[in-house]
Structure 1
Amino acid sequence: MNIALLGYGRMGKTIEEIAENRGHKIVLKISDDIENHDLKDKNIDVAIDFSIPKAAFKNITTCFKNNIPVVSGTTGWLDHYEKARKICNEENSAFIYASNFSLGVNVFFQLNQKLAEMMQGLEDYKVDIEEIHHTKKLDAPSGTAITLAQQILEENSRLKGWQLDDADEDEIPIYAKRIEDVPGTHAVTYDSPVDKIEITHTAKSRQGFALGAVVAAEYLKDKTGIFTMKDVLADLFQN
C-alpha cells in the first residue's frame, strides 16, 4: 500500500516506521502547505493526517478532491468536521477520523460507553475526566477526553455538557495536565460518598497510536464512505 503522510513530526515518523515494517511504502511526506505538492503522480492509496489544527481541513479535503482516502488523527479542527464529511461524500472518497487511533483506547471507549450506561441512574456518583499529555500537545482538553465526555453525555440526560476545569453541577469537569514526555493518560472517575469507580488507559509510547492509524489505513483502502474506529475494531474482531 502506498501511503502519504500529512504531517511529519514525531507521530509521522513513528507511523512511517510501523507502516514500512508492515510492508507498506511511504510515497509522500508533507510538513508544509499541501498545495506545494503534486498528489496526482504518486499513486497514493491512503493518506494519514497527523498535521496541525490549522492545516488539517485543507489537507483532508485536498486529498478527497484527488480521490485519496484519508485517515486523520489531528484534533482541534472539528469546527469544520461536518463540512469535511460533506466534501468526502461529494467526491465519493473515504474518511476515518478518530480522536485517538490506539486500538487499546478504542476498546477503552467502548468500556466507557458501557459504564456510562450503567451509571446513568445512580445520582450519588459525580463523574470527572482527567487527561495527561506531553508539554508539546497544542490543544486542551485532548480530543480523546472530549470523546469520553461526549459518550457519557449520550447516556446521561442529567448532564448538559463538559467544561475544562471549573464545571457546574450538571457538567462534566475535564482536568488537563501537561507533563514532559507523557504519551497520554486518560481516567474517568465516578465518585460518591461511599466509594469510587475509575477506569484508566495509560499509553506507554506513541507506538499504539501509530499502529492503530496504519491498521485504519489498511481497512480504508479501496472503500468509499465515512467510517469510525468501531468499524475497524469490528473488522479485526471478526477476523
Structure 2
Amino acid sequence: MKIALLGYGRMGKAIEEIAMNRGHEIVLKVSEDIATYELDKLEIDVAIDFSIPSAAYKNITTCFENGIPVVSGTTGWLDDYEKAKKICDKNNSGFIYASNFSLGVNVFFELNKKLADMMKGLEDYTVEIEEIHHMQKLDSPSGTAISLAQQIIEKNSKLKGWQLDHADSDEIPIFAKRIKDVPGTHTVTYDSTIDKIEIIHSAKSRQGFALGAVVAAEYLKDKTGVFTMKDVLSSLFEN
C-alpha cells in the first residue's frame, strides 16, 4: 500500500516506522500545504493525517478531490467535519476520523458506553473525566476526552454537556493536565459517598496510536464512504 503522511512530526515518524515494518511504502511526507504537490502522479492508496488543526481541513478535502481516501487523527478542526464528510461523499472517496486510533482506546470507548448505560439511573453518582498529556499537545481537553464525554451524554438524558475544569450539575467536568513525556492517560470516574468506580486507559508510547492508524488505513484502502474505528474493530473481531 502506498501511503501519504500529512504531518511529519513525532506521530508521522512513528506511523512511518510501523507502516514500513508492515510492508507499506511512504510515497509522500507533507509538513505544509498538500495542494502544492501533484497528487495524481504519486499513485497514493491512502493518506494518513496527523497534521495541525489549521491545516487539517484543507489537506483532507484536497485528498478527497484527488480521489485519495483519508485516515485522520488530527483534533481541533471538527467544526468543519460535516463539510469534510460531504466533500468525501461528493468525490466518492473514503474517510475515517477518530479522536484516538489506539486499538486499546477504542476498546475503552466501548467499555465507556457500556458503563454509562449501566450508571445512567444511579443518581447518587457524579461523573467526571481527567486527561493527562505531554506538554506539546495543542488542544485542551483532548479529543479523546471529548469523545468519552459525548458518549456518556448520549446515554444519560440528564446530562446536557461538558465543561473544562468547572461544570454545572447537569454537565460533565473534564480536567486536563499537561505533564512532560506523558503519551496520554484518560480516566472516567463515577463517585458517590459510598464508593468510586473508575475506568482508565494509559498509553505507554505513541506506538499504539500509530499502529491503529495504519490498521485503519489498511481497512480503508479501496473503500468509499465514511467509516469509524468501530468498523475497523468489527473487521478485526470478525477475523
TM-score (norm 2): 1.00
Residue pairs, 1:88-99, within 5 angstroms: 88-99=88-99
Aligned to 1:55: 55
Aligned to 1:3: 3
Shift of 1:202: 0.1
Runs of 4+ in 1 over 4 A off after TM superposition: none
Q: Distance in 2 between matches of 1:46 and 1:160?
A: 37
Q: Does 1:66 align with 2:66?
A: yes
Q: Give the share of equivalent positions with the same residue, in percent.
A: 79
Q: Distance in 2 between matches of 1:149 and 1:138?
A: 19
Q: Distance in 1 between matches of 2:15 and 2:48?
A: 9
Shift of 1:35: 1.7
Q: Distance in 2 between matches of 1:223 and 1:111?
A: 28
Shift of 1:33: 1.3
Which deviates the most, 35-44 or 49-58? 35-44
Aligned to 2:112: 112
Residue pairs, 1:82-161, within 5 angstroms: 82-161=82-161
SS in 2 for 1:106: helix
Amino acid at match of 1:182: V
Aligned to 1:221: 221
Shift of 1:104: 0.1
Amino acid at match of 2:173: P
Amino acid at match of 2:130: E
Q: Does 1:36 align with 2:23?
A: no
Q: Distance in 2 between matches of 1:172 and 1:76?
A: 19
CA displacement 1:23-70 (0-9 Å, x = unmatched): 000000000111221111111000000000000000100000000000
Q: Distance in 2 between matches of 1:66 and 1:33?
A: 14
SS in 1 for 2:41: coil
CA displacement 1:51-100 (0-9 Å, x = unmatched): 00000000100000000000000000000000000000000000000000
Q: Distance in 2 between matches of 1:57 and 1:159?
A: 30
SS in 2 for 1:40: helix
Question: What CA RMSD, in Å, does the superposition of the two structures yield over aligned residues?
Answer: 0.3
TM-score (norm 1): 1.00
SS in 2 for 1:205: coil
Q: Distance in 1 between matches of 2:32 and 2:222?
A: 27
SS in 1 for 2:12: helix
Shift of 1:184: 0.1
Amino acid at match of 1:112: N
Q: Distance in 2 between matches of 1:111 and 1:80?
A: 28
Q: Distance in 1 between matches of 2:34 and 2:209?
A: 23
Amino acid at match of 2:111: L
Structure 2 gap ranges (5+): none
CA displacement 1:148-181 (0-9 Å, x = unmatched): 0000000001111000001001100000000001
Amino acid at match of 2:177: K
Aligned to 2:172: 172
SS in 1 for 2:40: coil
